[in-house]
Structure 1
Amino acid sequence: MASENESPYNPNGIGSWLVCKTCGTQFPTDDKHQVTTCFICDDPRQYVPPSGQSFVSLDVLRSSGHRNIFTPIAADPERLIAINTQPKVAIGQRAILVRTPQGNVLWDCITLLDDETIVKIKELGGLKAIVISHPHYYSTHLEWARAFDCPVYLSKEDRVWLAQQDASRQKLITENETQLLGTTILKLGGHFPGSLVMLFEGRLLIADTFFATPSGLGNYDADAVGAPRKKPPGISSFAFMWSYPNMIPLAPHALMHMWDILKKYEFSSTHGAFPGMDIVDTPTGMKQRVLESMQIQIRYSGYEAHAMLEEVIT
């Protein structure tokens, strides 16, 4: 790992640098004797596949038919545009281009950056900043920052997970609330100590700081014959996990910390880390979904007298 004041970035040669096939993190070398394992995937919040640790490079990805697909998000198609790599690379997350009146912000990052992507984003107004929710999406963020000449905002608590460091580009978030170009960045913690969400005009971009469940994504507007109905009671919309691939849930005190920050804000939709992970509701309904999901997780974890179960929307 580079020191804080060094930048290993080499704009003439980084296409050959090693990229973890499982999580998409880029390492500042093309020498497989220097990087034999990915320290992010060795952590129990991620995983090493049965085939073991393996690496690819941006040059290989660019030459093997991978490309980034730009998809307007239905809830706000003019201002929120998802960017997802096909065929899937690593975890398969999407980045979201947030088009604010003060300039574009890229929420989260993906590994593949190519000429076509750079041209498309510049046509849409370029980037003023990049904000990354947590270390699983650090990917190739310094290359993105250099390509668009912008800073990258990361939580200070999670800096130990950086495979590359560049103090001139990486800006460390220290507060629970940070205002940036018309967005509000909230540090909720939980999944990682510094896990972030971003609020923009009632749209809450959650990455996998918390995660939409199948029942949360369900359509409860009508029954099988088209009759109107309400969402059945006691159904969760979100899961809150320390490790998603290894299915290790967050403890109640972590959920309480997250709620104490998030309950101060209004939002009418959530937009998760992967395509199709969008939930739209009324502001009250959306907030109620989050609280109920937290309470369900706490209750069924065996904490039937926990203070969070007494929380209500006010």
Structure 2
Amino acid sequence: MDDRSPWICLTCGGHYPPGEAPPTACLVCEDERQWVPATGQRWATMAELAASGYETDVREVEPDLIGIGVRQEIGVNQRGLLVRTPEGNLLWDPPAFLDDRAVQAVREAGGLRFATASHPHMYGAIVDWSDAFGAEILLPEADARWLNRPSPAVRTWSGTLEALPGTTLVQCGGHFPGSAVLHWERGADGAGALLVGDTFFVTPGEDRVTFAWSAPNRLPLPERGVRGVVEAVRPYRFDRVYGGWWQPVLRRDARRILETSAERYIQFLRGEVPIDRPDR
């Protein structure tokens, strides 16, 4: 084994520094928002994954938006998104596995200036991408401690940050204190798009969204967190929402759907929705 290769947690996709043996525990998985397998934590290196058949899946999602996923499941199995702009490219939510095919695709698309993520479960191979292109890593100050593979390329931010003209990182909180979305002004044919990871979720019917503090552990997001997400994105114009996976996508009327879905979710939190019970 190359002793410079990072260890990858197969459950959350987090990367850890190289060493003779993997870490004794994954700090991300031991947090209540994630989970540790009943059979114990599992680890691998990038080379081991490649040798076992892992490979990236690169697709055009819409003009100037390229999806980068992994054909085999790893971690939370997110699909990253490369946003292309005249001033450079930004990679959002990179998956945990990276190969030469993905690097070549990004090189052909104009390279990479910044790599960033919605929250710690989707940091993935962010350091590898930074090393491959000399890209800066943009992390919310509130969550930077969750990057378990240190890099001198990290720059922290809070509140909002215009990474490139027309691309703004917005700290929403909720799932994590630094949970963020990326507003892409030119997305959706100029109507505006949000890249959200799982700061909130697009539901399978592509007609509403929902929220969670921990999706795998089925823990809801409290009302204050839901309202914080809605208020954080209120200043931005958007008609489309891309979650952290290939599907589903909220394809149109996204602002209205976010606001009405948030109110409906809060009604359930408050117990304001009648629950039918069978006669006894």
Could you tell me the TM-score, scaled by structure 2's length? 0.90
Q: Is the 8 A contact 1:206 1:272 kept in 2?
A: yes
**Residues 72-130 of structure 1, C-alpha deviations (whole Å, 9 max, x = no match):** 11xxx221111001122221101001011211110111121222221221011110111
Question: Shift of the alpha carbon at 1:270?
Answer: 0.2
Task: Name 1:290's counterpart in structure 2.
Answer: 258
3-state DSSP of counterpart to 1:165: coil
**Residues 218-269 of structure 1, C-alpha deviations (whole Å, 9 max, x = no match):** 5xxxxxxxxxxxxxxxxxx111111011111111111122222211211010
Q: Is the 8 A contact 1:111 1:140 kept in 2?
A: yes
Question: Shift of the alpha carbon at 1:186?
Answer: 0.5
Task: Name 2:160's counterpart in structure 1.
Answer: 177
Determine the C-alpha separation between the residues in 2 that align with 1:102 and 1:163.
30
Q: Is the 8 A contact 1:199 1:205 kept in 2?
A: yes
3-state DSSP of counterpart to 1:97: strand
Question: Shift of the alpha carbon at 1:14?
Answer: 3.0
3-state DSSP of counterpart to 1:87: coil
Task: Name 2:12's counterpart in structure 1.
Answer: 23
Determine the C-alpha separation between the residues in 1 that align with 2:8 and 2:71.
17
Task: Name 1:191's counterpart in structure 2.
Answer: 175
3-state DSSP of counterpart to 1:300: helix
Q: Is the 8 A contact 2:3 2:19 kept in 1?
A: no
Task: Name 2:47's counterpart in structure 1.
Answer: 59
Rg bigger for which structure? Answer: 1
1:18 counterpart letter in structure 2: W
Task: Name 1:135's counterpart in structure 2.
Answer: 120
Q: Deviating runs (4+, > 6 A) in structure 1?
A: none
Task: Name 1:238's counterpart in structure 2.
Answer: 209
Identity of aligned residues (%): 33
Question: Shift of the alpha carbon at 1:277?
Answer: 2.3
Q: How does 1:113-262 map to 2 (within 5 A)?
A: 113-166=98-151, 168-174=152-158, 176-182=159-165, 183-201=167-185, 202-215=192-205, 217=206, 237-262=208-233
3-state DSSP of counterpart to 1:287: helix
Determine the C-alpha separation between the residues in 2 that align with 1:48 and 1:13.
25
Could you tell me the TM-score, scaled by structure 1's length? 0.81
**Residues 180-210 of structure 1, C-alpha deviations (whole Å, 9 max, x = no match):** 1120111001010000100112011011000
Determine the C-alpha separation between the residues in 2 that align with 1:90 and 1:255.
25
3-state DSSP of counterpart to 1:143: helix
1:61 counterpart letter in structure 2: L
Which structure 1 residue ranges, 5 or more long, are not aligned?
1-11, 219-236, 305-314
2:202 counterpart letter in structure 1: A
Task: Name 1:308's counterpart in structure 2.
Answer: none
**Residues 136-158 of structure 1, C-alpha deviations (whole Å, 9 max, x = no match):** 01222112101111101011001
Determine the C-alpha separation between the residues in 2 that align with 1:31 and 1:159.
26
Determine the C-alpha separation between the residues in 2 that align with 1:260 and 1:273.
21
Task: Name 2:189's counterpart in structure 1.
Answer: none
3-state DSSP of counterpart to 2:29: coil
2:18 counterpart letter in structure 1: T
Q: Is the 8 A contact 1:109 1:139 kept in 2?
A: yes
2:245 equivalent among 257, 274, 299: 274
Q: Is the 8 A contact 1:132 1:152 kept in 2?
A: no
Cα RMSD of the aligned pairs, angstroms, is: 1.5
Q: Is the 8 A contact 2:83 2:89 kept in 1?
A: yes
Determine the C-alpha separation between the residues in 1 that align with 2:124 and 2:4.
13
Which structure 2 residue ranges, 5 or more long, are not aligned?
186-191, 273-280
Determine the C-alpha separation between the residues in 2 that align with 1:24 and 1:14.
18
Determine the C-alpha separation between the residues in 2 that align with 1:143 and 1:151.
11
1:64 counterpart letter in structure 2: S
Determine the C-alpha separation between the residues in 1 that align with 2:99 and 2:57.
12
1:180 counterpart letter in structure 2: A
Q: Is the 8 A contact 2:142 2:178 kept in 1?
A: yes
2:211 counterpart letter in structure 1: F
